[in-house]
Structure 1
Amino acid sequence: MYEQPKVAVHAQRRASARAHNSNAHGPASTPGAGAVPHASPLTGHLAALVSATEAVRQAAESPEQRAELDAALAGLHARLAALAPAGAVPAQTTGGVIGRPGGSRLAMAHEHAHALAGRLLVVAAAQQDTVTAMLACRRMDAHAAARSAL
């Protein structure tokens, strides 16, 4: 008598478990359930990067740098609005970058923004959010290039 391999059953169970854990089961997909809107884990990281990018923009001296940072801020704000339900965007910190002796304020701001973009990339990859991961990569590249140009 032939017995079906148990591996196939196990694989089928794993596939159905993955389908069950999809992102389609969030509060946005259950209207009227009395769910309180919540922010995704990415929104806090995005808000921190927005704040750091604004600090870099304030420290930037040339109009070209400010124009690039304005475009970056527009993209970050758009992604934050897309991820966060209305009213669920975390408060942004306005803490400045603490300078070290011998370091410029702009260089420190770029370094801080680069680190925050790296954290955003890690969280976006864990959440399998390709759009946010690509945005974080672009910001990391821009801050690294600006930091090395100083």
Structure 2
Amino acid sequence: MYEPIRTKSVHSTMAGTPSDFPHRSREEELDIQLAGHLAALLAVTDELRALTPSADLDTAAQRLAGELSRLRGGTPLRAASTAADGDPLALHRKAHALAGRALVVAASRADTAAAILSAERMDAHTAALAADPRELTTTG
């Protein structure tokens, strides 16, 4: 009634058995996550720069690009933003969330420079949201 399995399992459950596929270390995974969050934050920052140009956003974009270069070892790919009709408040909310995620990962990997940059960006986006009176009302 029961026939034993004759082929090797695709799941390596035995301790000490070498795997057939490469594994990344925790540090490599955190590097990839942090670079992804910072790249997304840079993209949103570039969109904000297209909508509301400012020296603060220009500086932030340069610093984010510098961190990405450090993490990835090259110049980050940046697309020219064509967002002329976007909602700045929605972009600030999105950037705040991305900066928060980057902060968590940067703290997890003990990357002080990225953590400081992420925290500064969170503060800047919080200030931008607080400066808009529409954000203070809960209706319509």
Report the TM-score when normalising by structure 2. 0.63
For residue 115 of structure 1, what is the aligned residue in structure 2? 97
Summarize the alignment of residues 49-68 of structure 1 with structure 2, pairs less than 5 Å apart. 49-60=41-52, 66-68=54-56
Could you give the per-residue CA deviations for residues 65-101 of structure 1, whole angstroms, max 9, x where no partner exists? x1110011011001110111248x5888x8x7xx7xx
How far apart in 2 are the matches of 1:48 and 1:59? 17
Are the aligned partners of 2:48 and 2:91 in contact in 1 as well (CA < 8 Å)?
yes
For residue 34 of structure 2, what is the aligned residue in structure 1? 42
Unaligned stretches of 5+ residues in structure 1: 1-20, 27-38, 100-104
For residue 69 of structure 1, what is the aligned residue in structure 2? 57
Aligned residues: 104
CA RMSD of aligned residues (A): 2.9
* Bigger helix fraction: 1
For residue 126 of structure 1, what is the aligned residue in structure 2? 108
Unaligned stretches of 5+ residues in structure 2: 1-24, 133-140
- Return closer, same or farther for 1:127/1:78 CA change in 2, 3 Å cut-off: same
Q: CA deviation at 1:59?
A: 1.9
Q: Letter of the aligned partner of 1:49 in structure 2?
A: L
Are the aligned partners of 2:43 and 2:78 in contact in 1 as well (CA < 8 Å)?
no
How far apart in 2 are the matches of 1:90 and 1:58? 17
Are the aligned partners of 1:53 and 1:113 in contact in 2 as well (CA < 8 Å)?
yes
